[in-house]
């Protein structure tokens, strides 16, 4: 989707099923399990434990040390973990549903026809190969027909609608200062590498990645029919242009602060920043409602873009546009040579993934991406019983009550701020499993046999749907994830927490789990998303979703001092080689991990008190409920990443690597030390622990 890029400040994901990737590469495949759905792990899987490790020294190793022996990273993945097992299980489920509706049967419902035909077309590699790039020829002709830079506006408007974002990104968002309103947004964009510092970072590893990227562009241009010399020249020109865009872009850490990416202005003011684009014409040609004002997320970028457009010759711009067009087209819909070349750079070289995923898995994922709620509607009917939703709703309420008590007992927060905090908590909307109202796909045409056409039409449909919101009241019932998604999120502008059906299954949530296991698994996940409303960026939005300073000045200073403890703590962790975790980039997620598990523990303790359960008495698992709780938390993040993937994650992802999501949390909780008999001063029970929420 073209919708604005720096969503980290507003929508924060749990990141449990996969690492952040570019382009998206999700899921996993267990070796030898191509024909059967892999079983889900139990709430406490003793196979994953390393009994030779000391939980007080390295709890990640103790709770998960044997996981890579049970589940080595499959050859078609750059990482594999607990969440990936659940993702794969869910992927098999959606695959079985798609197999049932892919046949051209007149008895199919309209939505079944769309998802079935989309999936069947994606699977038809012979037709894709035979079509080649002919479906894209009209787009290439648009580029070739450019006579001067003044004609760029119309082409850029069209390209934004089909998910190509040369030079900048464009979409809609809730107004940060008035969450009732949907407004237009333009922001930095136009890069082919994961984020701007890939173009600017020094060192051998960074230089190697840049060389591989240039070679990838060169190879792609050769596939387009260019001579070796021309392809090499064009690749260098594209790299130079993208590097210029990177130099005027904002870094990924700065984008986390909503104040840095909120600059409302008139269209006239935007035109003064970047006069080379006829902005009124641009907005009109995207069929958006009338736009007079918008958010220009990074004004300095558009000042720089003006200079870049002036300094770049038309032929170079055309070459760059061809490249950006190809990047926008999903690889699964392209001929094999293009598909393989993109995999080789983005997945193999950049992330260390040895081989491509099975075709059916990629097509199931693609169908979910294009028609997520159409697929999700039949998924929920088949796999998400009402009792699962009811039990989750109750757990969410319990954890929200724990947050209410936490706010009340805080010694560092003033009474005035506490009133506002409780008000925000009371206004948080809980979205569980699936939306109350399903999305209407009647305006999307899916044609059997047209892989590229289906991908482009799906992108246009979604972008038109998003842009049509501009100027209209916000639909607070809308979801940002499909029901089968194995993840969760908090949206600051909506002030809602969202838990799709996909994540509400074992080991995270199950009737077979002990209460302690459920609270350690999904309870920590619920607490995580809830805490995002009060992390270093979420706290800047009030209960209505408006960017508002509702804290007293003194409370704000105390909060910043406490979060600085986490910045330093996580910044001291070494992720791979000499690369440290970025404590500032990961601060929000680290705060949510720490606060979320603490809230889940409070809810577990309240639940045990109601039921008369002794949390410190061992049961037939061989562990006390307190130990089960922490082991469940640890096993949320069991897994292994290839070194290349960890490097990408640390440089682009606001989530810390999995071992630090385990150890970084428990070492800040004295209850953990008590549960496992740790002594003060041991690694998992430091004398000076961090505590925010």
Q: What is the CATH number of the domain that holds 62?
A: 3.40.390.10
Q: Are residues 232 and 172 in the same domain?
A: yes
Q: Are residues 247 and 318 in the same domain?
A: yes
Evaluate whether 186 touches 270 at the Cβ level (below 8 Å).
Answer: yes
Flag whether 683 is in a domain: no
Token representation of residue 672: 């953990």
Q: Is 593 a catalytic residue?
A: yes
What is the spatial order of strands in the sheet that 489-491 belongs to?
11-13, 489-491, 496-500, 429-433
Q: Are residues 233 and 178 in the same domain?
A: yes
Report the C-alpha dihedral over residues 469, 472, 473, 475, rounded to 10 degrees: -20
Look at residue 11 in the predicted model and tell me its pLDDT.
85
Q: Are residues 583 and 638 in the same domain?
A: yes
Flag whether 446 is in a domain: no
**How far, in Å, are 231, 324, 402, 593 from residue 224 at the CA level?**
9, 13, 59, 46
Q: Which domain holds residue 333?
A: 134-356
Beta strands in 241-311 (DSSP E): 264-266, 293-296
Token representation of residue 523: 């309870």
Flag whether 646 is in a domain: yes
pTM of the model: 0.93
Angle between helices 372-383 and 110-123 (to 10 degrees): 110
Flag whether 263 is in a domain: yes
Flag whether 202 is in a domain: yes
Q: Are residues 336 and 398 in the same domain?
A: no
Which residue of the set 593, 640, 644, 659 is catalytic?
593
Q: Are residues 495 and 627 in the same domain?
A: yes
Q: Are residues 514 and 606 in the same domain?
A: yes
Q: Is 529 a catalytic residue?
A: yes
Look at residue 17 in the predicted model and tell me its pLDDT.
61
Q: What CA–CA distance (Å, rounded) separates 60 from 47?
A: 14
Q: Which of 336, 356, 376 is the last residue of a domain?
A: 356
Q: Are residues 534 and 581 in the same domain?
A: yes
Torsion sign across C-alpha atoms 404, 408, 409, 411: positive
- In the chain, the number of structural domains is 2
Low-confidence ranges of the chain (pLDDT < 50): 1-8, 18-34
Look at residue 487 in the predicted model and tell me its pLDDT.
97
Which residue of the set 529, 535, 566, 607 is catalytic?
529
Flag whether 521 is in a domain: yes
**How far, in Å, are 248, 249, 358 from residue 318 at the CA level?**
21, 22, 35
- Residue 385: Cβ within 10 Å count: 14
- The residues facing 80 across adjacent strands are 640
Q: What CA–CA distance (Å, rounded) separates 603 from 583?
A: 28
Q: Are residues 303 and 395 in the same domain?
A: no
Q: What angle do CA 125, 128, 133 make, to 5 degrees?
A: 150
Q: Are residues 178 and 66 in the same domain?
A: no
Look at residue 33 in the predicted model and tell me its pLDDT.
33
Strands 489-491 and 579-580: unpaired
Q: What CA–CA distance (Å, rounded) separates 19 from 648?
A: 9
CATH of the domain at 279: 1.10.1380.10
Flag whether 29 is in a domain: no
Flag whether 442 is in a domain: no
Q: Are residues 151 and 225 in the same domain?
A: yes
Q: Are residues 428 and 525 in the same domain?
A: yes
**b/e per residue, 413-444, with b = 16+ CB within 10 A?**
beeebeebbeebbeebebbbbbbeeebebeeb
């Amino acid at each position: 989707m073209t919708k604005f890029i720096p969503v980290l400040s507003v929508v924060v994901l749990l990141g449990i099923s996969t690492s952040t990737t570019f382009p998206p590469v999700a899921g996993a495949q267990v070796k030898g399990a191509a024909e059967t759905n892999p079983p889900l792990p139990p709430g406490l899987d003793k196979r994953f434990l390393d009994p030779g490790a000391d939980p007080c020294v390295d709890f990640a190793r103790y709770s998960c040390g044997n996981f890579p022996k049970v589940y080595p990273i499959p050859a078609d993945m750059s990482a594999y973990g607990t969440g990936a097992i659940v993702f794969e299980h869910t992927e098999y489920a959606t695959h079985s549903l798609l197999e049932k509706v892919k046949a051209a049967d007149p008895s199919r419902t309209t939505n079944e026809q769309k998802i079935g035909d989309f999936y069947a077309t994606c699977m038809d590699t012979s037709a894709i190969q035979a079509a080649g790039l002919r479906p894209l020829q009209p787009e290439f002709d648009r580029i070739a027909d450019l006579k001067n830079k003044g004609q760029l506006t119309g082409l850029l408007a069209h390209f934004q609608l089909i998910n190509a974002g040369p030079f900048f990104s464009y979409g809609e968002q809730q107004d940060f200062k008035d969450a009732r309103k949907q407004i237009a947004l333009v922001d930095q964009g136009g890069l082919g590498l994961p984020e701007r510092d890939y173009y600017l970072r020094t060192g051998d590893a960074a230089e190697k990645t840049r060389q591989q990227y240039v070679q990838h562009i060169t190879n792609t241009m050769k596939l387009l029919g260019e001579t070796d010399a021309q392809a090499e020249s064009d690749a260098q020109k594209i790299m130079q242009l993208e590097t210029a865009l990177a130099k005027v872009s904002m870094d990924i850490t700065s984008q986390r602060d909503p104040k840095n990416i909120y600059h409302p202005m008139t269209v006239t003011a935007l035109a003064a920043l970047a006069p080379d684009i006829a902005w009124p014409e641009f907005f009109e040609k995207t069929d958006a409602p009338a736009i007079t004002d918008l958010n220009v997320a990074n004004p300095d970028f558009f000042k720089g873009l003006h200079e870049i457009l002036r300094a770049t010759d038309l032929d170079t711009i055309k070459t760059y546009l061809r490249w950006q067009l190809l990047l926008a087209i999903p690889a699964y819909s392209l001929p094999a040579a293009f598909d393989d070349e993109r995999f080789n750079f983005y997945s193999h070289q950049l992330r260390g993934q040895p081989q491509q995923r099975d075709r059916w898995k990629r097509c199931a994922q693609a169908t979910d991406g294009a028609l997520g709620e159409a697929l999700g509607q039949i998924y929920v009917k088949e796999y998400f019983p009402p009792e699962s939703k009811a039990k989750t709703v109750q757990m969410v309420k319990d954890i929200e009550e724990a947050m209410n008590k936490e706010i009340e007992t805080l010694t560092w927060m003033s009474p005035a701020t506490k009133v506002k905090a409780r008000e925000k908590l009371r206004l948080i909307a809980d979205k569980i499993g699936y939306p109350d109202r399903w999305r209407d796909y009647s305006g999307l045409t899916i044609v059997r046999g047209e892989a590229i056409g289906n991908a482009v039409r799906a992108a246009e449909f979604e972008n038109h749907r998003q842009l049509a919101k501009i100027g209209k009241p916000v639909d607070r019932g809308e979801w940002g994830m499909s029901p089968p998604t194995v993840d969760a999120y908090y949206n600051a502008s909506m002030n809602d927490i969202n838990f799709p059906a996909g994540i509400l299954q074992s080991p995270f949530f199950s009737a077979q789990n002990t209460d302690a296991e459920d609270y350690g698994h999904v309870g920590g996940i619920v607490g995580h998303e809830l805490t995002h409303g009060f992390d270093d960026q979420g706290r800047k939005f009030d209960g209505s979703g408006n960017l508002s300073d509702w804290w007293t000045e003194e409370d704000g200073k105390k909060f910043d001092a406490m979060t600085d403890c986490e910045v330093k703590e996580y910044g001291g962790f070494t992720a791979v080689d000499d690369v440290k975790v970025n404590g500032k980039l990961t601060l929000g997620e680290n705060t949510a991990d720490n606060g979320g598990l603490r809230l889940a523990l409070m809810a577990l303790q309240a639940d045990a008190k109601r039921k008369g359960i002794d949390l410190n008495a061992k049961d037939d698992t061989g562990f006390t409920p307190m130990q089960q709780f922490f082991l469940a938390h640890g096993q949320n993040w069991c897994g292994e990443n290839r070194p290349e993937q960890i490097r990408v994650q640390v440089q682009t992802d606001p989530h810390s690597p999995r071992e630090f999501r385990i150890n970084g949390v428990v070492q800040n909780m004295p209850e953990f030390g008590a549960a496992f008999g740790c002594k003060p001063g041991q690694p998992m029970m430091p004398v000076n622990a961090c505590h925010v929420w």
